[in-house]
Amino acid sequence: MNSIKTKLIFQKKFLISIILFSLVLVVCTGCKEKAPEKVVQTKSAIGTICTITLYEQNAESLFDEIFAALDLLEQHVSVNIATSDIAKINDAAGTNNPITVNDDTLYILQAAIKYASLTGGAFDPSIGPLVKLWAIGTDKEHVPSQAQIDSAKALVDYTKIQLDPEKKTVYLPVKGMSLDLGGIAKGYAADMIVQILQQHGVSKAIIDLGGNIYAYGAKAPATNTTDAIPWKVGIKNPFDSTGAPIIVASLINKTVVTSGVYERFFIKDGVRYHHLIDRKTGYPEQNGLMSATIITNSSMMADALSTAVFILGKEKGIALLEKLNTESKDSEGVLYDVQGLCVDKDKNITATSNLRLKIAVIDSSFSLE
């Protein structure tokens, strides 16, 4: 009798073990085969529409952290927020009252001055007086008088910006001077998001901050038999920014930033006045370019250089990028790796030597020089 009872107990335990093993097998198999779903979140932040695409199980908490960081950055650097560092600096211009700023504001301004120097002022963070005068993209946009433009031009000079890294202070010595970080802040924000993703061990994501794209990681990792699969990122048609892209670039851990005449503009008497203003003339640059695109590792650098290349024009702009790649080194002593291209009004595409063979022109009405 005892042997029968023992046998039944053994059989029961065996069946339970089989059931438990089956359950574990089902769960583990499901975990192995089911990759994280793509999760997309879009919000308004830093003065633009930001879309983040993640492939993580804990996406919601990551979104919260990312957008909180963007909101905090906007509080520090927005020219339109009265309590921001930038607004305080502008208000204090010419008062002999340096403003103590946050770390991110100081870092962005240090980088902005560096890129202004590298580009001979084609990118200039002190462009604020001209931006405010033209007011492009607002309900006050207009064509100013020449006298107004001349007065505003006299206030634009990045070499006059006074930074004290130890005290973390910034000062503009001439009344009426003002900073505008619209040409670099989104790039910094994208790089900041990349750092957050790295800290959390995220393998891949797509960051889109109002057209500043960062293709983080690879679309699919390398295996023993295949190379990593890059993201395919389209570059807009500057003649029809809502239509199909004209170029496709393959990117892994790269950012692509484009400055173009289609972003913010108004038309007066048949003339398009866009937001890319040349500090030397005081007018929106009219050099035959429709757009300038930069592809590199740093979105902040790409942001500044896309503006600079557009202002310089395709010959000088592309020459600047080629020079950076052969003569200039970053803070770690490594030569820059900057790829770029320009699209002109005749639909000609001019690209740097390190990019020509890496892009696919998919619109036959455009030609790659």
CA 287 to CA 272: how far, in whole Å?
13
CATH topology identical between 56-171 and 206-368: yes
Q: What percent of the chain clears pLDDT 90, i.e. is strictly above it?
A: 84
- The residue ranges of every structural domain in the chain are 56-171, 206-368
Q: What stretches of 121-245 show up as alpha helix (H) in DSSP?
A: 128-134, 146-153, 185-199
CATH number of the 206-368 domain: 3.10.520.10
What's the mean pLDDT when you consider all of the chain?
A: 91
Q: Is the model's pLDDT at 316 over the cut of 60?
A: yes
Give CA separation, 146 vs 7, 111, 156, in Å.
Answer: 102, 32, 16
**pLDDT tens per residue, range 164-200:** 999 999 999 999 999 999 999 999 999 999 999 999 9
CATH class of 56-171: alpha beta
Mean pLDDT of 240-256: 95
> Residue 34's pLDDT band (boundaries 50, 70, 90)?
low
**pLDDT tens per residue, range 267-303:** 999 999 999 999 999 999 999 999 999 999 999 999 9
Residue with tokens 């500043």: 212
CA 22 to CA 237: how far, in whole Å?
55
Q: Is the model's pLDDT at 6 over the cut of 80?
A: no
Q: What percent of the chain clears pLDDT 70, i.e. is strictly above it?
A: 90
Instruction: Say what the pTM is.
Output: 0.89
